Chain A
Amino acid sequence: EVQLLESGGGLVQPGGSLRLSCAASGLTFRTYAMSWVRQAPGKGLEWVSAISSSAISTYYVDSVKGRFTISRDTSKSTLYLQMNSLRAEDTAVYYCARVTPNWDHFDSWGQGTLVTVSP
């Protein structure tokens, strides 16, 4: 069974930084693309970033380009999201999700970690 466990969320001031982690188990991590999806309080899902299985290709939603960096460590089966220059509008639950080989949907999700950006 695939398990994705996010960590690293918390309260941070505007302009601050935070690094999220997603520990994966029950899958051959190195063979799957991975992604981050977020959900602001009371709002809908928003795709944030994705990384290919080889880590050669990365993708970002426009609103986080230049501020967020996605990466992965195959030896640790862990996905990361480095978030810098955080803004109030980045406040959300951040989910880690596995991307299927066709890059067409997300078939496994973590339980999420809450990031709150506030003075």
Chain B
Amino acid sequence: QSALTQPPSASGSPGQSVTISCTGTSSDVGGYDYVSWYQQHPGEAPKLMIYEVDKRPSGVPDRFSGSKSGNTASLTVSGLQAEDEADYYCSSYAGGITPFVFGTGTKVTVL
């Protein structure tokens, strides 16, 4: 199972929007509506931000949104804030004997 492909970096000024892509295959991203996104600040554990493509857990600001088209999922952060600067990872259910796969990760910088 290969890692999902994400751009290494993305950036935006405060108040702007940034969108991160996550590309897989029909065996993972394209095959299930089970894409999730995690935020990770340096030295901290990952935090769930989006699940099942576009659902937000309680407590996650509505500035974070998710979508999917075919084998590519996306995370959009609107109204960027300084605290949004972090690494972001997508993940997808992949079924079979290796049920989970993560993306390569994207470092978001708030300019």
Contact = CB atoms under 8 A, between A and B. Distances in A.
> Which 10 residue pairs are nearest across A and B when measured between Cβ atoms?
A104-B34, A105-B36, A44-B105, A47-B100, A109-B45, A105-B51, A45-B102, A104-B93, A45-B89, A111-B45
Contacts of B24: none
Interface string B73-111: 000000000000001010101000111111111000000
A61 interface: yes
B13 to A, nearest CB: 26
Contacts of A59: 97-99
Contacts of A112: 45
Interface bracket on B: 20 to 34
Interface bracket on A: 20 to 34
Interface in B33-54: 34, 36, 38, 40, 44-48, 51-52
A9 to B, nearest CB: 14
Given A104-B34, A109-B45, 14 more contacts: A44-B103, A45-B91, A47-B100, A59-B98, A60-B98, A61-B98, A62-B98, A103-B93, A104-B32, A104-B52, A105-B48, A105-B93, A106-B36, A107-B48
Contact of A50 (B32, B36, B100, B103): B100
Interface of B: 1, 3, 32, 34, 36, 38, 40, 44-48, 51-52, 57, 87, 89, 91, 93, 97-105
